Amino acid sequence: MNTVKKTTITAKKIMTTKGKKLAAGLLVLLSNATLMAPVVAQQVQTDEADETIEMPVEMPVEEPVNDPVNDPMSFLQAPFRQQQFVPDISLILDMGVGAYSLPDAQRQALISPYALQQQVDFHHAVNANTGFNLNYAELTLSAPVDPYLELFSTFHLSAFEFEIEEAYIRSRGLPLNTELVAGKFLSHFGRLNAQHAHFWSFNDKPLVYDHFFGSENLNELGARLSWLAPTDFFLDLGLEVLQGKNSASFGQAGFVSGDQELLAVNLPNLLVATAKTSFDAFDALTVLGGLSYARGGSRFVPPDAAGLVEHNGHFHAAQAAAEPVEALTTYVGATQILGADLSLRWFVDSYRDLSWQSEVLLRQSQGNRYAEGLATPTSFLQLGGYSQVLWRFAQQWRAGVRADVMGLNERREGDLNIASAARLPQTRYSTMVEYLPSEFTRLRLQYNLDATGFDHMAQAAPVHGLFFNLNVVMGAHGAHEF
Amino acid sequence: MVLKTIFGVAVLALTWSLSPAEAQAKLQVVSSYPYISSMVSEIAGNQVQNDTLASGAWDPHFIVAKPSLILKLRKADLLIINGAQQEIGWMPPLLRQSRNAKIQAGQPGLLDLSTFVQKIQVPANVSRALGDVHPQGNPHFALDPDNVPRIAQAITQRLCQLDQAQCNGYRQNESRFKQRWQQSAAGWQKRMAPLKGQKVVQYHRLHDYFLQHYGLQSVNTLEPLPGIPPTPQHLNSVIQQVGREKVKWNIRGVYQPAAPSQTLSSKSQAKLLTLPHDVQAVPAAKDMFSLYETLVKGFGV
């Protein structure tokens, strides 16, 4: 190791001329380099043009010599360069083109007996209209903040809006296999809630998620502590303390009914607990199951003077009351949601797999409905779910079918059961095929038959929808979880 | 109430089965690919608990991030990865979900082998317009016989750092392994010598280190760009090139689709070789020695 000897001497020489810091840095570099077998002698010019040091650096042969990224001495040329600290940045774009069998205005006025508040929440709806749709652009930025924290953020961009969809810190290296997340984030409730739209297997998400959590899913301010239990099987436990503003099931707003004023809730009032487990039945078959439980206070406010209902900071027209079921507004109660999910995935080879995924969500709430200051004991119980099968049959091709079912729908006000059992169950069927020209582009054709809507005459109004969607990702986007 | 009870019972049942035998004396080493764990067992024998994440027969770029792999990482004292972004598509979520502080980036419990070897085909500029390129160069460096001792050395040093008590044993095994490797490599060198200068096409740039070491010339790939499956137009142009340049071999990795390579060989003189890229990619490749032996034998020498 002749080269190494020579450099040590040169490094000593530098210590006198350039200060200890630089020399110490070089020595660290050297000691690293001596550990590495492939040592390439490379000429590095210092800013003192006459002084050339020969030093071993780990450097691929085909690298251009003047490469600022890998050149360990580049700080001499650009002392305040921060380029290498740029976080991972990616932009995802989703657009679709297609048509529905009903005119948009008519279709958007349809009522589902399941939508408790009867409000139209198309805010983050995908393919909201016939014709071309710019569904979203999603900008993500993430990087370690320091040795202790990572920052992850997703910005949801629509044609005229820029929203913080997620912005949270994540602990790095907490002991005992725990992790703490704090900020605004998607709850890990169920199998799908935490997934971003571009990772969904269909253009739209299951109906039960739309009904129970709204078009933005359960996305809240709060903190999450998760723990990978020291068991012989996979067991991931999580506990979330959330503000509970989600107005599809929870909410905190105050309102006035007659001469009674119901004050707004300010403290966090939503708790979510999750448990996930998984095992490989054979080498090629993976089973994943989960249980989720959410419990929080509910406030369903009346529409404001303009007839608008607030949903996660956005205002939507409150729907006309559905006959014969009236919209559940001016409601104060406690709601719990239980979710159970099961996924099976069978791998044929590196590029082919068959997966089956199903989820059932049960929502139960008990409270009072206020009218002219009078409280009527009110409760509701709803059950919904979906089941889907996806078949990736070639490296670039995947096809799938999904059935959405909304089953149980009980609602009691006083002694009356006012939900309409005759309309059950309600279903939506979807089928899709997608082609991925590369890992970063996805073309998807999806057909939906949605039989959950009723028109203002309470007549069933099935809607057919056929959409072709393009989803592309640019930049540094992290790999996804299972 | 009912919901609460169900959930409570489920959580209780799960906590009840917490395993008591967690504290194990042996160092838990987890490797991303089978070739790495085979080298760990050469150096550490059964002095460490040795586990692997990926299967050798599958595309190393697209290993599924199964939860069972998170379980393996949770217990790891040392995670050894190939690096050079070969695991970029599946390792980061696993590492994060493992919630194991010991093996995160920057800790001594994470060893990136790619930093100990010279990579070839390092692009000066990267753009996804050029396909799924590896900014740090071709990551399949374990197929250069000269890199194998370097990998052995890197593993030994890290094992010594984390488990000083057994260091002497590790070092002895390492030098024994290197000696055996040198002997075998000399044999392969002799057998591969007549193939020097012969031309090769590959499905993907998977065996470049091996080919370059033995002086074979890789003139094209069936993939028009890395990660993009063969198109009929591109395949046709490769078939013509193979005829024109008298390309002798047509190499396909075990996990790559067979049809394009078969089409090429049926329409040209290039002989189709389906070669392993990792230990356990084929049953015969049980360790590094038999992996290389299988590769050399594949060329009929």
Contacts of B113 in chain A (CB under 8 A): none
Q: What is the pLDDT of residues B125-182, one digit of tens each?
A: 888 888 888 889 999 999 999 999 999 999 999 999 999 999 999 999 999 999 999 9
pLDDT at B10 over 80: no
How many Å apart are CA A57 and CA B141, to the nearest integer?
A: 19
For the record, the structure tokens of B169 come out as 């044993």
What mean pLDDT comes out for the span B199-225? 96
pLDDT computed for residue B97 by the predictor: 94
Tell me which residue of B47, B53, B44, B51 sits closest to B29, measured CA to CA.
B51
The residues with which A161 forms a beta bridge, in sequence order, are A158
Residue B92 near chain A (CB below 8 Å): yes
Mutation for testing the A interface, residue in B66, B77, B90, B204 having most A CBs under 10 Å: B66
Distance from CA of A202 to the nearest CA of B (A): 20
* pLDDT the model gives residue A324: 46
**pLDDT > 70: percent of chain B:** 92
Q: Considering only residues 234 to 253 of chain A, which have any Cβ-Cβ distance to chain B shorter than 8 Å?
A: 234-237
At position B102, the amino acid (one-letter code) is K
Compute the distance between CA of residue A388 and CA of residue A377 in angstroms, rounded to an integer.
38
Record: contact B68-A286, CB cut-off 8 A: yes
| Host H or E run for residue A10 | helix A2-18
Q: In terms of CA atoms, which chain B residue is nearest residue A291?
A: B7
Token pair belonging to A17 = 């001329």
**CB A438 to CB B65 under 8 A?**
no
**C-alpha distance from A476 to closest chain B C-alpha (Å):** 11
Candidates A165, A199, A100; CA nearest to A428 is: A100
Whether this model's ipTM surpasses 0.95 comes out as no
pLDDT of B43 over the 80 cut: yes
The SS3 call for residue A274 is strand
Q: Which of A37-46, B25-34, B268-277 has the lowest mean pLDDT?
A: A37-46
The answer to whether A241 and A269 have CB atoms below 8 angstroms apart is no
- Do residue B93 and residue A362 have CB atoms under 8 angstroms apart? no
pLDDT value at position A2?
Answer: 41
Instruction: Work out the average pLDDT over B251-279.
Output: 96
pLDDT at B190: 97
The answer to whether the beta carbons of residues A319 and A109 sit under 8 Å apart is: yes
Q: Name the band, by pLDDT with cuts 50, 70 and 90, for residue B279.
A: very high
Residue pLDDT tens, chain A, 482 long: 344 444 444 444 444 444 444 444 444 444 444 344 343 334 444 343 444 444 444 444 444 455 555 666 655 666 777 888 899 999 999 999 999 999 998 988 888 878 776 555 667 889 999 999 999 999 999 999 998 999 999 999 988 889 999 999 999 989 999 999 999 999 999 999 999 999 999 999 999 999 999 888 999 999 999 999 999 999 999 999 999 999 889 999 888 888 888 888 999 999 999 999 999 998 889 999 999 999 999 998 876 655 555 555 555 555 444 444 567 888 999 999 999 999 999 999 999 999 999 999 999 999 999 988 889 999 999 999 999 999 999 999 999 999 999 988 888 888 887 766 556 788 999 999 999 999 999 999 999 999 988 887 778 899 999 999 999 999 999 888 88
Which amino acid makes up residue B1? M
pLDDT for the residue numbered A80: 78
